[in-house]
Amino acid sequence: MDVNYRRNTESDYTEKIEELYKNFDYSSNSDYYWGEPELSMLYGSPLYEAASPSQQKALNHLYWALNYYLIAATETNTILFNEVTANAFFPFDDYEVICHALDVETNQERYHVRAFHTIGSQTELALMGETVFHCPRSTKPKEMDKTLAAFKGMGGRTSSPLGMQVYTISISNSPFLASQYYTARGIGNLNLKNKEYSFSQLYKTLEKKGEFIPAPTAVSRYHLLDESFHTATSQLMSHEIYKDFPQPNAWEKYIGNQTIHSLQTDVFNGLSTTLPGTFGGNLMPMVYKLLQTPLFSMSKQEALLMMEKCFCQEHQGLHVAAKYHQRLLSDIRKFLEGLDYLSPVNREMRLMASSGSVEKAVANNIREFKQFSRSVKR
């Protein structure tokens, strides 16, 4: 932990991210892909295939923005839980370095969140003249509450407000649960890396060729490097630190298992057509609004017809989503090896494994689209 803390404090990745977002200008980055084409909104769908080259590039940029809005939401959760868990370790003299490391990481997360929101909102305004995805609102709260679940972050999606309070109190009073929060955080780190590695590889390729590197691509690269220290913290906390404390009691085992179970049922529970490779859901009301912006200029009826084509049949984008799902599942299973307090269902991520088929995704999409279509026609 000392080595990881020292290396993190000596790095300058956060400062580079700050410089990039403070100087971001969409027009200077608009002619370039920010990630591989498969990391584009509605990639492989009839909309994407029919789109012009400039529209496809816009969908690539909007994917980056939306993906990082979701990451920002989870990092906002992280800021809270870093502070709560640091309080659990503060009374123990031997763990002072943990508290210092978490303070540094929390400060870095604040810069990350600002960067993602700044670049994302500027991108939306440039492409659509409004922010469709940033801080979204709706005249139909019940409909949008479900859609907005992904914008609550991984922590917010897995608990009710009361459940969140119980969990927060539990981990603040139990060194075991405080250390095992980092099991969930480690899974979040892996989910981030699952896509961010691709952005980082593009950065390295462009750098090697001496070509222009879009600012968002550079932010992804430096964020991955920043988060590598956070990932190391999650690994150490979840797999080593907890061994220093007494064996977990029945309540602690229950909370630890319920946390992973909720991640499977509420976050890693299917494939996203809208954002292949993410687990943010389909965000249908937002797609509906996107199609009616100047970027696509569709009528309400045209937007619904296009959405039905995109969501209710198999296409290449769903196979891309399945590829990222399978890779993340494999990474999480490796990460959870050796955590014997977890039940087999959680340690092997069996519920997540059962939700990753293209066939299930199409069936779920059809059901979701029918419900959404009825809601907008009322």
- Return the higher-pLDDT residue of 147 and 99: 99
pLDDT at 87: 86
pTM over 0.75: yes
pLDDT tops 50 at residue 77: yes
Lowest-confidence pick of 52-66, 125-139, 198-212, 269-283: 125-139
| Single-letter amino acid code for the residue at 189 | N
Cα 267 from Cα 5, distance rounded (Å): 30
Taking alpha carbons only, the member of 251, 281, 300 closest to residue 150 is 281
Residue 153's pLDDT band, with cuts at 50, 70 and 90, is low
The one-letter amino acid code at 119 reads: I
Q: Which comes out higher in pLDDT, residue 306 or 93?
A: 306
Question: What is the total residue count of the chain?
Answer: 378
Q: Tens of pLDDT along 11-39?
A: 999 999 999 999 999 999 999 999 999 99
Query: So what's the pLDDT on residue 155?
Result: 54
Q: Are 60 and 37 in contact (CB under 8 A)?
A: yes
Q: What's at 261, amino acid-wise?
A: H
**Tens-place pLDDT, residues 247-263:** 999 999 999 999 999 99
Amino acid in position 292: Q
Compute the mean pLDDT over every residue in the chain, rounded to the nearest whole number. Answer: 91
Read off the pLDDT of residues 163-202 as tens digits, 9 standing for 90 and up: 777 788 888 888 899 999 999 999 999 999 999 999 999 9
Nearby residues of 376 by Cβ (< 8 Å), 6 or more positions away: 288, 300, 304
Mean pLDDT value across residues 212-228: 97
For residue 244, the model assigns a pLDDT of 87
Q: Which residues contact 371 (CB under 8 A, 6 or more apart)?
A: none
pLDDT of residue 137: 44
CB atoms inside a 10 Å sphere around CB 299: 10
